[in-house]
Amino acid sequence: MLSRVVERMLVGPAGFLTAGVPLLIAGVHRLLFARLANMLSDGDGLRSGLDWRGATSLKPCFKHLNVLMKGSGLAHLRPGFVDIACCDRTMLRKWTSDKVFRAVDLLEGAHRRVQDGRMTKAAYHDLEMATGLNRNPEGILASRALRHTLTSTASRTIGFTRSCSTVFSMSKLNR
| Rg, the chain, Cα only | 19
**Residue 161's pLDDT is what?**
41
Summarised one tens digit per residue, pLDDT across range 66-84 is: 999 998 999 999 899 999 9
Torsions phi, psi for 82 (to 5 deg):
-135, 165
Q: 76-122, pLDDT tens digit by residue? A: 998 999 999 999 999 999 988 889 999 999 999 999 999 999 999 99
Spacing of C-alpha 105 from chain mean position: 12
Check: CB of residue 6 under 8 Å from CB of residue 14: no
Helix and strand totals (H; E) in the chain: 5, 6
Predicted local distance difference test score (pLDDT) of residue 157: 41
Whole-model pTM: value is 0.75
Q: What is the mean pLDDT of the chain?
A: 83
Angle at 111 between CA 107 and CA 117, to 5 degrees: 140
Alpha helices in the chain (DSSP H): 2-10, 43-50, 97-116, 121-131, 144-147
CA–CA distances in Å: residue 53 to residues 132, 145, 175? 5, 23, 36
- The whole-number average pLDDT for the span 13-37 is 87
Q: Is 106 left (phi over 0), alpha (psi -120 to 50) or beta?
A: alpha
Which pLDDT score, from 0 to 100, does residue 89 have? 93
Task: Give the least confident one: 31-35, 61-65, 168-172.
Answer: 168-172
Sort strands 82-83 and 67-68 into parallel, antiparallel or unpaired.
parallel
Return the pLDDT at 128. Answer: 94
pLDDT-derived band at 151 (thresholds 50, 70, 90) equals: low
> How confident is the model at residue 15, as a pLDDT?
86
8 Å CB contact between 99 and 65: yes
